[in-house]
Amino acid sequence: MATTTSALGGAIRRREDPALIQGHGRYVDDIKLPGETAAAFVRSPFARAKVLSIDASEALAMDGVVAVYTAADVDSLGPLIAQLSFAPRPLLNGGEVKHVGEAVAMVVAENRYLAQDAADLVFVDYDPLEAVIDLKDAHSDRVIIHEGSESNTIISWAAPFGAEPEDQQAVRDQIEADKSRDDTVVVSQEMINQRLIPTAIEPRRVLAEWNPGYRSLNVWSSSQIPHALAGGIAVSLGLPTTSVRVIAPEVGGGFGAKLNVYNDEILVSWAAQQLARPVRWVETRREAANSTIQGRGWVGTATIVGTTDGEILGYDFDGIADMGAYTQNFTVAIPFLGLFVGSGQYKMPTYWKIDCVATNTTTTDAYRGAGRPEAVYYLERIIDMYAREIGMDPADVRNKNFIPNEAFPGAVSPIGFAMDTGDYSTNLNELLEVADYAGMKAERDAARAAGRHVGIGLSSYVEVCGFAPSGLADLGFNWATYGLPTAFNGSGLVRVNPDASATVIIGTGPSGQAHQTTWAQIVSDRLGIEVDNIVVKHGDTGDSPMGIGTFGSRSAAVDGAAAYQAADRVREKAAKLAAHLLEAAEEDVVFADGGAHVAGSPDSSVGWGDIASIAYQVHKAPEGTEPGLESEVFFTPSNATWPFGSHLAMVEVDADTGNVEILRYVSMDDCGNVINPMIVDGQVHGGIAQGIGQALFEEAIYDADGNLLSGSMVDYPIPTAGDLPAFELHRTVTPTDVNPMGVKGIGEAGTIGSAQTIVNAVVDAVAPLGVTHIDMPLRPRRVWEAIQEAR
């Protein structure tokens, strides 16, 4: 039994596109229900304050206002207990609000205009308290944010992971001892990895409908995790999980912002139940900025001690990470994900520690890369500074310190994690060759000689993706608090229908990643059924197997593997049926061209229609055949995957204005095998753009009172087409051995590889002027000021 046609690896056009390019995509706000109402929230203008009273009488007196709810109405539902939750978020806060934008009341009205009008008429009396906005100030515990806590530090993560504290300290002591050796240099820099706002172009939306007869809820939400959301709603409302159906239709971008069970999702569902009318909530852009999660927000010091000839003897990272006011789904897990890649793909002994600290700001959580861009940023910036200090090419320093190929299989990072596969030097060297690194350096030097400020930046990276192994559930990576004690398994159902078409139902859904195309390719590869004859369904908890969601570059490597195995099981049964029809031995059956034939005799073939026909009419099949032709598979890999790569950029700085122009951007990513190169390229493009956005433009800025000054798209400039160059993408291919397709995941690679590549390039450009470091974002003013200070 074998398959001779393969759809894997083909750049087929996306099957999602015809609807989306003609305006026929259906996002949550495009779905209308009879009798709808609209919700709006009343939100705190203070970063920290006691709510003394709420007067909703004027709002309630307005024509068209259906209800106003405050904390007292929803106290019985309890706070929102998110996964890994140390500081639960109240659904509506009637006590002490802890960040600007926190919801204190919800208005429901006949339409969204009225709901907003009424929200403006809800008068809340606050007693403002001292808020703690600055991360270091919060870390000092001068003011404790959460009553009853002894410290604003919620949890600390340290590595080598799993080692006893004294063994961790021993690594640090050795690094300290190496510093005083005669033949070593020490490079150390405090750096900020600033807070970002994910900024999906579709803000979040929720629509809920209660059926009093069935006592069941239908909830449409722009969510990356519909199954967890169904569980979270059920737990809060005291319903069986089977009574809540969540549908995530088209999702207009996620990037981690939609990877949470939010209080508004619970409240809108609850209100629909209370009112027995559908309730819709449409997030405004400002709410997306200050009430949905933000990302990043680290301050830390990276230190390298190494020899003068480029051998890194030790790496020390000591940081604090801003959790914001509450801990949500993965808030405290994000720095932990950074820890996983704290030592990158390098072999030096590493001490790595981070304190997770509460502040009176919007909660942080996963934003594309989620801990890994931050960790890689510090490491790759300090390696660059070390290379500059010893006068060695940064590529040579990296090559000298990579974990060598001989370490695989069985490589364990200095941080303490087993890595699947890697070939780091080949990847870097191919980048240098394809980009003509030597030529770029000559070009840079010539430009410098002509008085221009041109620089080259390089970064390698490793990431950890497909975060699914069952054992990780013990570290909190499960949905138990949503009533669903499951590890982060992949899932998929593959069904060949009586008409020989195939239906694939997956437990994860896209927010732009083209699951309908990719999964059709996977199943087509296994069964030989044409892609156009395969339908892929996703995003509806009512008909899909328990699924975890699309985040952490996990869908293809985990859920894709489940569909792959499910298709294989269908094929095993189909081979028996085909052998019966062909009067041949099962092992001689070959699947190709939409059917099966006997090996060596393609003329004697049966179609999938013939096979399906007897599968559903088993009196024509071998004795004992069960009717039907489908399989549902759950998949857990033996390890996460460890994609890697190297990025290279050339920039020019205008020393008079501080403006940065990107002249070239070249990447060499390795995500293992590739299912659809067009889609993989697209993921890298978007990832790089977001990393460049962090490097050059984006920052969530708070004033001293905790007001978010960058709460609109005017004040929070994500890159435009005019800000970015065309990207030159390349790949090496080092398949993983932890899933049957050898795919590692690509959703976050571009972001993880790019921010420090740009910063390294800008610093290289202005290094001759005496600049050694500039904190992101490298907006013109900041670059200009750094140049002035250095002069």
Partner 1 sequence: MEVSLTVNGQAVTSEVEARTLLVHLLRENLGLTGTHVGCETGYCGACTVHVDGTPVKSCTMLAAQVEGAEVTTVEGLANGELHPVQEGFWERHGLQCGYCTPGMIMTAAGMLADNDNPSEDEIRHGIEGNLCRCTGYHNIVRAIEYAAAKMRGDEPAAPDWEVV
For every residue of 52-120, DSSP letters joined together read EEEE-HHHHHSTTEEEEEEHHHHGGG--B--TT-SSPBPSS-SSEE-STT-EEEEEEESSHHHHHHHHH
CB of 52 to partner 1, least distance (A): 31
CB of 137 to partner 1, least distance (A): 32
Q: How do the residues of the chain divide into helix, strand and coil, expressed in percent and rounded to 5?
A: 35, 25, 40
For residue 312, the SS3 value is strand
In angstroms, the first-to-last Cα distance of the chain is 72
- Tell me which DSSP letter residue 484 carries: B
Residues 690-709: x where in contact with partner 1 by CB under 8 A, - otherwise, as a string: x-------------------
Cα–Cα distance, 480 to 721 (Å, whole number): 42
CB of 584 to partner 1, least distance (A): 31
**Helices 749-766/372-390 angle, 10° precision:** 30
Total residues interacting with partner 1, rule: CB under 8 A: 62
Lookup: tokens for 230: 């169904």
Cα–Cα distance, 475 to 118 (Å, whole number): 44
For residue 697, the SS3 value is coil
Residues 274-313: x where in contact with partner 1 by CB under 8 A, - otherwise, as a string: --------x-xx----------------------------
If one asks whether residue 733 binds partner 1 (CB under 8 A), the answer comes out as no
Residues 99-138: x where in contact with partner 1 by CB under 8 A, - otherwise, as a string: --------------x-------------------------
Contact 457, 773 (CB under 8 A): no
CB of 457 to partner 1, least distance (A): 17
> Which CB atom, from 10 or from 78, has the smaller least distance to partner 1?
10
> Which CB atom, from 511 or from 636, has the smaller least distance to partner 1?
511
Q: Which of residues 742-761 bind partner 1 (CB under 8 A)?
A: 750
CB of 435 to partner 1, least distance (A): 16
CB of 447 to partner 1, least distance (A): 20
Q: Which of 143, 144, 678, 767 forms a contact with partner 1 (CB under 8 A)?
A: 678
CB of 126 to partner 1, least distance (A): 26
Cα–Cα distance, 564 to 519 (Å, whole number): 9
If one asks whether residue 5 binds partner 1 (CB under 8 A), the answer comes out as no
> Which CB atom, from 248 or from 323, has the smaller least distance to partner 1?
248
CB of 110 to partner 1, least distance (A): 13
CB of 740 to partner 1, least distance (A): 22
If one asks whether residue 201 binds partner 1 (CB under 8 A), the answer comes out as yes
Residue 127: HSE in the Cβ half-sphere, 13 Å Cα cutoff: 7
Helices (H) and strands (E) in the chain, counts: 20, 27
- How buried is residue 122: exposed, middle or buried, by Cβ count under 10 Å (0-12/13-18/19+)? buried
Q: Which of 41, 157, 255, 477 forms a contact with partner 1 (CB under 8 A)?
A: 255
CB of 680 to partner 1, least distance (A): 9
Q: Which of 182, 214, 619, 726 forms a contact with partner 1 (CB under 8 A)?
A: 726
Q: Which of 265, 322, 463, 681 forms a contact with partner 1 (CB under 8 A)?
A: 681
Instruction: Return the range that interacts with partner 1 (CB under 8 A); candidates 142-150, 407-415, 606-614, 711-719.
Output: 711-719
> Which CB atom, from 669 or from 681, has the smaller least distance to partner 1?
681
CB of 539 to partner 1, least distance (A): 13
Q: Which of 34, 406, 626, 721 forms a contact with partner 1 (CB under 8 A)?
A: 721
* φ and ψ at residue 246, rounded to 5 degrees: -110, 135
CB of 200 to partner 1, least distance (A): 6
Q: Which of 713, 767, 769, 790 forms a contact with partner 1 (CB under 8 A)?
A: 713
Q: Which of 238, 471, 677, 770 forms a contact with partner 1 (CB under 8 A)?
A: 677
**Helices 394-401/372-390 angle, 10° precision:** 110
For 94, 95, 258, 462, 598, the CA distances from 377, given in Å and listed in that order, are 40, 39, 24, 11, 55
Q: Nearest Cα to 299, choosing from 776, 653, 790?
A: 776
> Which CB atom, from 284 or from 405, has the smaller least distance to partner 1?
284
Contact 101, 43 (CB under 8 A): yes
Would you give the distance in Å from CA 385 to the centre of its chain?
29
Residue carrying the six token digits 């010893």 = 390
- Beta strand residue intervals within 482-548, DSSP E: 490-496, 502-506, 534-537
If one asks whether residue 513 binds partner 1 (CB under 8 A), the answer comes out as yes
If one asks whether residue 78 binds partner 1 (CB under 8 A), the answer comes out as no
> Which CB atom, from 449 or from 726, has the smaller least distance to partner 1?
726
Residues 7-36: x where in contact with partner 1 by CB under 8 A, - otherwise, as a string: ---xxxxx-xxx-xxxxxxxx-xx------
> Which CB atom, from 449 or from 714, has the smaller least distance to partner 1?
714
Q: Which of 514, 529, 743, 766 forms a contact with partner 1 (CB under 8 A)?
A: 514
- Tell me which DSSP letter residue 559 carries: I
Residues forming beta bridges with residue 43, ordered by sequence position:
103
Q: Which of residues 492-511 bind partner 1 (CB under 8 A)?
A: 510-511
Q: Which of 51, 132, 200, 566 forms a contact with partner 1 (CB under 8 A)?
A: 200
CB of 117 to partner 1, least distance (A): 10
Report the 10 Å Cβ neighbour count for 746.
Answer: 29
Q: Which of residues 234-253 bind partner 1 (CB under 8 A)?
A: 250-253
Cα–Cα distance, 69 to 334 (Å, whole number): 33
Provide the Cα torsion 372, 375, 376, 381; round to 10°. Answer: 150
Binding site for partner 1 (CB under 8 A): 10-14, 16-18, 20-27, 29-30, 113, 199-203, 250-255, 282, 284-285, 510-514, 677-679, 681-682, 685-690, 712-714, 718-722, 724, 726-727, 729, 750
